[in-house]
Amino acid sequence: MIGIIRYGAGNIFSLTAALERLGIEYGMVFGERDFEQFDRFIIPGVGHAGAAMSKLEQSGMVEKIKSLQKPTLGICVGMQLMTAHSEEGDANMLNIFPIQTKRFADSAEYKVPHTGWNSVEQEMAGPLFKKIPTGSHFYFVHSYFIEFNSAYTLASTVYSTKFSASIWKDNFYAVQFHPEKSGKYGEQLLTNFSNI
């Protein structure tokens, strides 16, 4: 069963609705004592990465999350929390991945935030993208991106610059897009994660 880590950053209704549609069981993780009930975890998040990290620190779950051995998926700001540092709030993150979260440069051609559907190219084979063709479209809403690093990039996309749409290291997975708002391939990704 999936444990959704609740630390006060964002609305999780669309995520729980998607899991319910797919028949995937889930529960909530509010503190360290709740982790034992679950065999995998999702770290959701919307809004400001620096503020989200502050809330996560206040929850007392940081060290537990960093020590997890079970499959763990970060979504949107949940992905940014897994990096070493974010330019949003000039904040240190969980440092699960030794890479940076950076802000898009605003321009006439590329508006910030990056909002809408974008194609995602798979950079390596991994269980998260099973049965999902490379080049499939997913839904993004973000002003900050995770720098591309071939050692950790499971899938990439381009919006003014090439960046990591998904990263993977050991039992930690993350996606910048919102699978719960990305139609059939987003649902396939959530299903894949539930089967890892």
Catalytic residues: 76, 178, 180
Residue with tokens 């973000």: 142
> What's phi and psi for 140, nearest 5 deg?
-115, 145
- Give the HSE-up count for residue 135: Cα atoms under 13 Å, Cβ half-sphere: 0
Task: Indicate the pairing of strand 72-75 with strand 172-175.
Answer: parallel
Q: Which residues pair with 159 in a beta bridge?
A: 161
Which 3 state secondary structure label does DSSP give 59? helix
Whether 88 contacts 50, CB under 8 Å: yes
Amino acid of residue 122: Q
What is the spatial distance between Cα 66 and Cα 82, in angstroms, rounded to a whole number? 9
Q: How many CB atoms lie within 10 A of CB 163?
A: 22
Q: Which residues contact 52 (CB under 8 A, 6 or more apart)?
A: 7, 9, 10, 45, 77, 80, 81
Would you give the DSSP letter of residue 101?
A: E
